[in-house]
Structure 1
Amino acid sequence: MRPIDEVITFPPIDPNRVLQPHQDALILTLGINDFDVRRILVDPGSSANLLQLFAFKQMGFPSPALENPRRILLGFNGVSTTSLGDVVLPVQAGPVILNVQFFMVEDLSLFNAIMGRTWLHDMKVIPSTYH
């Protein structure tokens, strides 16, 4: 792993390619365990990183590879769900690779993963939906 000390800036022309005003969620494709995983929601309000069980199985992992099963996770709306376990996987964003702990869940609706505050903090990034 290399330290994250680079600065990313957006030129003034960059938001010209986006229809303004918009309120779209920040959705990424990231490399997780050498797979390009699409439809990842960046949620700075989430304290956990979540991974859809289906995506985990698509990477070729068996379910028994999970540790610490049956953790209760609370959503922002107060609804709770029970994780199937957790796993640490390498996540690549550009040139940076970090080992990330994911809580495995079965139903994330449209998303394969949700990256929360812990990942954002470790990456030393500020998400910009404007750009």
Structure 2
Amino acid sequence: SGLTSKEKKRKIKQATIISQISTSLPPAEDDPVIGFQKKDLVGLDLPHNDALVISIQIAQAMVDRIHADEGSAANILQLAVIQQMGLETKINKLARSLTGFNGATTVTVGMIDLDVYSPPVISSQTFMVIDEVSPYNGILGRPWISKINAITSATHQKIRYPIPGGGISQINSDQAMARKCSA
């Protein structure tokens, strides 16, 4: 084989060390499988084309009319919501441009970092703060959805996400509020 006895012993020792390291690592645990079934449609007004509109705790306040939107690359909160929370002084007043799906541009008031409570998961999120007329108090977009590993279903009006310990938690959309917001 061309290897000396000393080189063979060194290779065997390396393989043994690698094997020991590999077997001492805990097995990777997958998140639970998250899905939706027909029974999840019970209680909904069907058929529908409603957005996911939720109430959720942001910082120390329950905020309603939050659009959970996988199509949004940003989390957004209305300035009035921040003012009602008494957190206006925490806004990093750095104006940025937000461009919507239709190409319209909005200049932000600034940005703010706040905790979002999706029990039992708490995630720190950066929000763009806007002062614009909107039926929504805010948008939780892909940054939040991805951070909590959520799966959304507008059809089922639900957001499900894994929780520590292997379970699944759920946030239900308010279908009536979604319709008021889009009216």
User: Scaled by the length of structure 2, what TM-score is found?
Assistant: 0.64
1:75 lines up with 2:100 in the alignment: yes
Quote the RMSD (CA, aligned, Å). Answer: 1.6
SS in 2 for 1:13: helix
Measured in 2, the distance between the counterparts of 1:50 and 1:11 equals 31
1:65 — aligned with what? 90
Could you say which structure has the larger radius of gyration? Answer: 2
Report how many aligned residue pairs link the two structures: 126
1:51 lines up with 2:77 in the alignment: yes
In structure 2, runs of 5+ residues without a counterpart are 1-30, 157-183
User: Scaled by the length of structure 1, what TM-score is found?
Assistant: 0.88
Measured in 1, the distance between the counterparts of 2:143 and 2:91 equals 20
SS in 1 for 2:49: coil
Question: Which has more helix, going by share of residues?
Answer: 2
Question: Relative to 1, partners in 2 of residues 1:89 and 1:108: Cα closer, same or farther, differing over 3 Å?
Answer: farther
Measured in 1, the distance between the counterparts of 2:37 and 2:68 equals 22
**1:15-56 Cα shifts (integer Å, max 9, x gaps):** 121122100110000100021000000111110000000000
In structure 1, runs of 5+ residues without a counterpart are none
**1:75-100 Cα shifts (integer Å, max 9, x gaps):** 11101011111010000012111000
**1:60-115 Cα shifts (integer Å, max 9, x gaps):** 123x4211511111111101011111010000012111000000001151111101
Note if contact 2:34-2:151 (Cα within 8 Å) is conserved in structure 1: no
Structure 1 segments of 4+ aligned residues over 3 angstroms from their partners? 5-12
2:59 — aligned with what? 33
- Counterpart amino acid of 1:41? H
State how 1:1-131 maps to structure 2 within 5 Å. Answer: 5=31, 10=36, 12-62=38-88, 64-131=89-156
- Counterpart amino acid of 2:113? V
Q: Relative CO higher for 1 or 2, CA cutoff 8 Å, sep ≥ 6?
A: 1
Q: Give aligned-pair identity as a percent.
A: 38
Q: CA deviation at 1:7?
A: 5.4
